[in-house]
Chains A and B, each alone.
Chain A
């Protein structure tokens, strides 16, 4: 679409806002991603002309869905003439014509939710769930997703095709899960959203620590899910992401180096995001249905609200709760840091030695860098250097590498100065 024409620009904006909704409803009605996508494109192409002449209708979504449906019927009829296709096509045309009265707002919303659950279906590989969700729910193009994940468009296109084939072959239903399955299925959706956010917050490799787009997409997606499904864990995850996002500007300095929480310039924190995050945490806690994201968000909200001193006791209690709800060695490591802050570095080191003895996190760079930090605090610099060197050999991100190298240089210099 040429950019100069304001009508086209308005339509391009509508495309951005409406395409995912239109696509979701058409996928339900047509039972086929490719047919639905084609019908959607045709509907927009008709809109380009019709709306220029008659103005944009009051409910553009419903208009586009209805037009898309008519186009789909036309296409199916034509295909029937061109090549002999399956006999169920006739049935589909009949069904579509019957449905072709009107779609209400509730149905459109339910279709979006169906689309989210389909893209995040546990039968689909997580590496495929993510780009599928970004393309079909968030409306990003294959090329945009590929550049965000630093892979070629061909690689990303392959994953998306694989995902669509999987949906078709295994007949993954386009439905909102039953109440009994809902908690597990929501978990799957939330983990996709959180993975997208984390990829945007800290690229898994390479030089870019922050990629604004993916984090924003994840927050937008979570807001959408929350509006469709007001579940406490959805609130918890949205709060957690907003609280992380509030510190984005403060977590790297002008040279692109990492600044730890304790040393961050709080003037750079976003009070609007903190306020929204804190309110969501309280709302989620009030439901009494408290899950892992809500607890993590509660911990983040204490950090976000502590201006002079941090209530480490409360943070330790939340980590204890998290260990009950969602135990993992990473949670144990984070708890060790909180214990070190409350009771001194030696107490933290003892917990870390325990984790290390279980052999669970020995390939995780943060175990070694945390150990190094605490060893440095008790004054055992040679052991600290050893731990930081171990961390450096395991870390992939360039800013984190630089941070560890700085620590190593600093401690080595201290030792040399003493000699």
Chain B
């Protein structure tokens, strides 16, 4: 099964860390990502730019309305996304529980919606042919 792990963290706290500490923590995360790669669990990931540069888009009375900042105004913001392959939800939990990123903030684990993914794949194939 494919899972999407959303890693949250506190940007203010993170920015307050000395650079050496930041590098060390990132190296730990990368090393564990390699562990996941070895077990063929790591399908990919994306790091997110600062939430301070986020814009949130919605439609208000038919017009585009843009607010600066992330969708939710919480201390912990989405920092990165990891795509994970695991046998089931408990397997995904045990894999992510060991990820050093969890020390920086919580992970939200969601299973992929394979029904919609199939539809997207079909559209892709149709588009490319």
Contacts and interface: CB of A to CB of B under 8 A. Distances in A.
Verify that A and B bind, or say they do not.
yes
A142 B1 CA distance: 11
Interface string A20-52: 000000000000011001100110010000000
Contact of B93 (A38, A82, A144, A161): A161
A143 interface: yes
A12 to B, nearest CB: 12
A145 B88 CA distance: 11
B39 A38 contact: yes
Interface stretch (A112-120, A152-160, A249-257, A313-321): A152-160
A78 interface: yes
A156 B38 CA distance: 28
A135 interface: yes
A56 B68 CA distance: 59
A153 B86 CA distance: 14
Nearest to B95: A38
Interface string B15-39: 0000000000000100110010011
B32 A141 contact: no
Contacts of B39: 38, 41-42, 45
Contacts of B38: 42
Interface in B92-113: 93-95, 97-98, 111
B72 interface: no
Which of B35, B40, B89 is most buried by chain A, counting CB atoms within 10 A of its CB? B89
Nearest to A33: B94
A267 interface: no
A78 B94 contact: no
A82 B28 CA distance: 7
A151 to B, nearest CB: 12
A83 interface: yes
Contact of A143 (B31, B89, B97, B98): B89
B35 A78 contact: yes
Contacts of B98: 34
A18 to B, nearest CB: 14
Interface string A133-155: 00100000111100000000110
B91 A37 contact: yes
Contacts of B87: 41, 141
Contacts of B31: 82
Interface string A151-195: 001101100110000000000000000000000000000000000
B90 interface: yes
A37 B94 contact: yes
Contact of B90 (A42, A75, A82, A157): A157
A34 B87 CA distance: 13
A154 B111 CA distance: 10
Contacts of A144: 88
B4 to A, nearest CB: 14
Given A82-B31, A142-B88, A157 B111 contact: no
B98 to A, nearest CB: 8
A157 B28 contact: no
A38 B28 CA distance: 19
A143 B91 contact: no
Interface in A47-85: 75, 78, 82-83
Contacts of B35: 75, 78, 82
Which among B28, B40, B94, B98 has the highest number of chain A CB atoms within 10 Å? B94
A52 to B, nearest CB: 15
A80 B88 CA distance: 27
B103 to A, nearest CB: 11
B1 A143 contact: yes
A141 B28 contact: no
Interface in B11-69: 28, 31-32, 35, 38-40
Contacts of B97: 34
B88 A34 contact: no
Given A78-B35, A82-B31, A83-B28, A142 B89 contact: yes
Interface in B67-83: none
Contacts of A157: 89-90, 93
B89 A82 contact: no
A241 B16 CA distance: 63
A132 to B, nearest CB: 10
28 contacts: A34-B94, A37-B94, A38-B39, A38-B95, A42-B39, A45-B39, A78-B35, A82-B31, A82-B32, A82-B35, A83-B28, A135-B88, A141-B87, A141-B88, A141-B89, A142-B89, A142-B90, A143-B1, A143-B89, A153-B88, A153-B89, A153-B111, A154-B89, A156-B89, A157-B89, A160-B90, A161-B90, A161-B93
Per CB-CB distance, the 8 closest pairs between chain A and chain B, nearest first, are A141-B88, A142-B88, A34-B94, A157-B89, A142-B89, A142-B90, A153-B89, A160-B90
Interface of B: 1, 28, 31-32, 35, 38-40, 87-91, 93-95, 97-98, 111
